[in-house]
Amino acid sequence: MTSNSSETLDDSPSETTEYYKHLSLFWTDIIHLMSSKPQALTSIGPMRAFASNSKKISTELIEINEKLFEFNQYMTDYYKQLSTTWGIAQKKVNLKVPEIPHDVEQIESVKRIWIDIFDNDFTELFDSEKFGNNYGNLVSKELELTKHWNNITNVILQSANLPNKEEIDEVYKEIHSLKKRVSKLELKLKKEERKSVN
């Protein structure tokens, strides 16, 4: 590794990401240039289309990595909030109940105390602004990741000259609609057959 690249790796995570982003895009440009030449191995069939779309896939993968990093931060915070609340609630329960329940009534009262404390503490957590913001960001990043995966899938399907997800969904909707219409027609036909028999 050259001194330049090792200096880059010592920089902040965003600078390192930018470095690898540019490096990745450079190599996908090279592949794209190679695939556009008639003598290139990948210049025929679906592989040519895939090679020419590889830059799109690389860009999507780089963006996925950035979003995944943010998603993991929100996910870590989410579980940290849950485990902290659990620990505090359990301490409250331990202070309120005797160490070893001796009879059925005592066990039932411990259960009620446990349910009340956990219900109150987790309701407070879920109602808090901090939890709401973090959870909203978590869901938002998850949707962004799904969008990038769908984009990659569509590029691959397009390269293979296959229908994309939206087109397949449209076909499924049409099939579902046709099945409903056929069921109605069959039902109508049966009613008419019964009438003609009577």
Specify whether 103 is located in the same domain as 54: yes
Q: What is the pLDDT of residues 99-129, one digit of tens each?
A: 666 777 888 888 889 999 999 999 999 999 9
- In terms of Cα–Cα distance, which of 149, 139, 129 is closest to 71? 139
The whole domain housing 189 covers: 165-198
Of the CA atoms within 13 Å of residue 36, those in its CB half-sphere come to 9
Tell me the mean pLDDT in the region 56-69: 84
Specify whether 43 is located in the same domain as 138: yes
Question: What is the token pair recorded at 76?
Answer: 């870590």
Q: Which of 33-37, 55-59, 92-96 has the lowest mean pLDDT?
A: 33-37
Specify whether 135 is located in the same domain as 95: yes
Which residue has tokens 């969904």? 169
Specify whether 75 is located in the same domain as 146: yes
Q: Looking at the 3D structure of the chain, how many domains does it have?
A: 2
Specify whether 101 is located in the same domain as 122: yes
Specify whether 15 is located in the same domain as 98: yes
